[in-house]
């Protein structure tokens, strides 16, 4: 698996993590606390200052204590890979 971590500082500091997930046919269970939000057809977990979701084989995390939840959702939605028809 490959992972990218990007930290942005300043007045509005935030961190974005992206990790490519290898195809794995074994089932796994991941327990997360938070609220479920559907973002463009993708289940997203929102927990305090963190948004976590999977999309097209990539695990995304957006974290910030400076951004409000709606701004983090907009940021997370902009990271998604939209497949062309």
Domain boundaries, the chain: 2-22+33-79
Instruction: Give the DSSP H/E element, type plus range, for residue 78.
Output: helix 69-79
pLDDT higher than threshold 60 for residue 84:
no
- By three-state DSSP, how is residue 32 classified? coil
What are phi and psi for residue 62, nearest 5 degrees? -120, 125
Give the pLDDT score at 30.
Answer: 77
Q: What is the pLDDT of residues 9-68, one digit of tens each?
A: 988 899 999 998 877 767 777 788 899 999 888 889 999 899 999 888 889 999 999 999
Give the pLDDT score at 4.
Answer: 92
d(CA 74, CA 39): 9
0.85 exceeded by pTM: no
Give the pLDDT score at 22.
Answer: 76
């Amino acid at each position: 698996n490959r992972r990218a971590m990007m930290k942005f500082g300043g007045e509005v500091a935030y961190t974005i993590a992206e990790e490519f997930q290898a195809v794995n046919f074994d089932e796994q269970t991941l327990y997360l606390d938070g609220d479920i939000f559907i973002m463009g057809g993708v289940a997203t977990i929102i927990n305090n200052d963190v948004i976590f979701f999977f999309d097209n084989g990539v695990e995304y995390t957006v974290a910030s204590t400076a951004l409000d939840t709606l701004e983090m959702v907009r940021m997370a939605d902009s990271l998604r890979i939209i497949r062309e028809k």
